[in-house]
Chains A and B, each alone.
Chain A
Amino acid sequence: MTSMTKRIFHSICLVALTVFLASLVLIMGVLYEYFSNVEQAQLKMQTILAAQGVTNEGIEYFHDLNVKNYRISWIDAEGNVIFDSASDTAEMENHLEREEVREALSSGYGESRRYSATLMERFFYTAQRLDDGTILRLSISQNSILTLLLGMAQPICIVFAIALVLSVVLAVQISKKIVKPLNGIDLDHPLSNEGYDELSPFLRRIDSQQKQLWGQKAELLQKENELNTIIGSMNEGMILLNQKGKIISINPAAAKLLDAGTDCIGSDMLSLCRNLKLQEILAKALHGEQGENIIRLHEESYQINADPIISENVVKGAALFFFNVTEKEKAEQIRREFTANVSHELKTPLHSISGYAELLKNDMVRDDDKIPFAGKIYDEAGRMIRLVEDIISLSHLDEGADDMQRENIDLYTLADKAVQSLEPYANAVCVTLELSGVPSVLNGIPQLLYSVVYNLCDNAIKYNHENGKVIVNIQNENNAVALSVQDTGIGIAPGHQERIFERFYRVDKSHSKAVGGTGLGLSIVKHAAKIHNAKVEVKSLVGKGTTVIVTFPK
């Protein structure tokens, strides 16, 4: 890269000097011609003067003659040199053939410019024919003109020097001035520049490319931000590793899970987690095989997926994902228990039914017993029907009960209905059932609300002491309706309180058959409450009784 200023400077200097030299040469040429002509005219004058002198004085003229600048020769009509101021006449050849001599012989005067063979120099010659036919010739060396010119060398040099300095100074100034707009271009805002028109295509191009770049940069930044936000706000831990198992990136969830600082990037995965199962699947992933396993971290279960990152058939690294499966495992556990419970609960009445039916079939029953047997079969079948109905309504609730109609209803009326239908049962087990409170209208699904009240009261009666009491109270508060069912029953130990809403969960497993029920009542309450966004609260003291409060938002 050469500097533009330098280049312009050099060019200007070169041009200036070339012009200067060229004009010098031309001027010299013109001057030379001019001086030659002047010299020749002078020579002619001298010749005429000398010719008069020779005509008047003859040979004597030469004796007094003092020639310095020029050479004088006298030639007779035959061409023999009679006198010469520069050479010895005897050695000189015939001069008749010389151009100027011939010319003078024919026309009386002649002149020429040529080399003198005698003196080996360029000369001007002029010749004059005298009256007696002889010829007088004068010649002068051209060197004298050159000498004249050489005399000018010193001033020329001075002029040259001045010109040089001047051109350098000017060139510096001019080149700076030319380049100045270029140096001052504001490339951030290319179109705002006022410079050379020749630059505008470049500037326009730069402008469009800049805009393109900015656009791409913004797009990239946005994409990066999006990705970072997604990865950063992910609940699942994610770690990217290179092919050597070093961490390239780790999201906040994974960092928190593995208790890692920001300095862990670039370190080995082993330094974060020494779990052998994890190392095993990671090693597998780095060999190109997908792997997964469940490990325990901080008392919770995490499923870890290790996926190889393959590009162009080469494993470039691995991605580790951590999913918290504690809840899932718990749910799985509950589901398994539920299935086992359902089969068990269904099997028990079926066995009774099948047993009684078998006895009847084989006619092994006394006639008196036939009615009670049929009654037992009927009871058990009824139990099964209730169970299946409960399961159906539960599974219906599981799906969200979307198809059920919501309407504004009075919870008090509903509770009254439920209490009335349970009254005979309560009387049978000697439990008093009371309803208090105010009419409270709320928006909800009547069937579900009814089953909430019914199941709660049913439980309150079922797990009560003899001569116990059940108080159902409905309060209309500012933005909620509170249903509370209080009993004086056996109570629930704190350890069980959390689990009573699980399906088929029984506090006292051995007596479930005795107290009856399907074991699904509270589960239905929980789901129905959930659909109404209601909060269920259990307060209980063993031996003293239980209060269940369901708060429905209006």
Chain B
Amino acid sequence: MRLKFDEQLDLLNKELITMGAFCENAIAMSAKALTEGNPALAKAVPDLSVEISHKEREIETMCLKLLLQRQPVARDLRVVSSALKMVTDMARIGDQSADIAEIITLANIRATDDTQIIYDMSVAVIKMVTDSIDAFVKKDMQMAKAVIDYDDVVDSFFDKVKKMLTRLFSKPETDGEYAIDLLMIAKYFERIGDHAVNIAKWVLFSLTGNKGG
């Protein structure tokens, strides 16, 4: 009985990691399309986002089944319930990556000095997403806490982007739509960072029963 349950938990773990890998890929593809100024690279992201949504439903169903059939308690309950919450954040990361990709494919984003800071920001965000999933995989509390702290770096990047865009707007030759697109992209990255923080918090919860911070 317990063996079967362990197997199911193991499968849940595996599915979560796979979903995390999808998210990493989606955001990395969007960031690459942005920095290389190659909208063709972003074309595959919406498909990946759909796949991530499917995975979300799948994992939700799995979690609910586990809750109903096995009625887990203590740590098992924390694992299942945090998984249920984590997939929501992961799905949002997928959605927002797809949103970034959409902006890139529609607008004429060029790789310029302006995008450099957004590129730096995307590197920071990708690191956060990767680390939050790593923290989940390795059940590493320190790493999860580091991810939560790292959000400040991403936030400061967002502030820098805002300042940069304000300067851009003050110039008469600036293409307004382009600047707004950059702002949206930066905002999406910032949101993805927040979702990574949420994932890290759920990792902490599943390990300690305390969401920390």
Measuring CB to CB, which residues of chain A are less than 8 angstroms from any residue of chain B?
268, 270-271, 274-276, 279
Contact = CB atoms under 8 A, between A and B. Distances in A.
A318 to B, nearest CB: 16
A268 B136 CA distance: 13
A257 to B, nearest CB: 16
A125 B49 CA distance: 129
B14 to A, nearest CB: 6
B10 A279 contact: no
A270 B134 CA distance: 11
Contacts of B14: 268, 270
Nearest to B133: A274
Interface in B84-119: none
A293 to B, nearest CB: 14
Given A276-B21, A276-B22, A271 B138 contact: yes
Nearest to B13: A268
Chain B binding surface, main DSSP class:
helix
B166 to A, nearest CB: 36
A268 B138 contact: no
B20 interface: yes
B25 interface: yes
18 contacts: A268-B10, A268-B13, A270-B14, A270-B17, A270-B18, A270-B137, A271-B138, A274-B17, A274-B18, A274-B20, A274-B21, A274-B133, A274-B137, A275-B21, A276-B21, A276-B25, A279-B18, A279-B21
A268 B21 contact: no
Which 7 pairs show the lowest CB-CB distances between chains A and B?
A274-B21, A270-B17, A271-B137, A276-B21, A268-B14, A270-B14, A276-B25
Nearest to A263: B138
Instruction: Tell which of A268, A274, A275, A279 has the most Cβ of chain B within 10 Å.
Output: A274
Interface residues of B, number: 13
A269 to B, nearest CB: 9
B60 interface: no
Given A268-B17, A271-B138, A274-B133, 20 more contacts: A268-B10, A270-B14, A270-B17, A270-B18, A270-B21, A270-B137, A271-B17, A271-B137, A274-B17, A274-B18, A274-B20, A274-B21, A274-B24, A274-B137, A275-B21, A276-B21, A276-B22, A276-B25, A279-B18, A279-B21
A268 B138 CA distance: 11
Nearest to B137: A271
A263 to B, nearest CB: 10
Nearest to B134: A274
Contacts of B25: 276
Contacts of B20: 274
Nearest to A244: B10
Contacts of A276: 21-22, 25
A270 B17 CA distance: 7
Contacts of B10: 268
A238 B21 CA distance: 22
A121 to B, nearest CB: 84
Interface in B16-48: 17-18, 20-22, 24-25
A330 B165 CA distance: 40
Instruction: Tell which of A268, A270, A275, A276 has the most Cβ of chain B within 10 Å.
Output: A270
Contacts of A271: 17, 137-138
A274 B133 CA distance: 10
A270 B22 CA distance: 12
A275 B24 CA distance: 9
A268 B24 CA distance: 19
B109 to A, nearest CB: 24
A381 to B, nearest CB: 45
Instruction: Tell which of A268, A275, A279 has the most Cβ of chain B within 10 Å.
Output: A268
Contacts of A274: 17-18, 20-21, 24, 133, 137
Contacts of B138: 271
A154 to B, nearest CB: 73
B137 to A, nearest CB: 5
B136 to A, nearest CB: 9
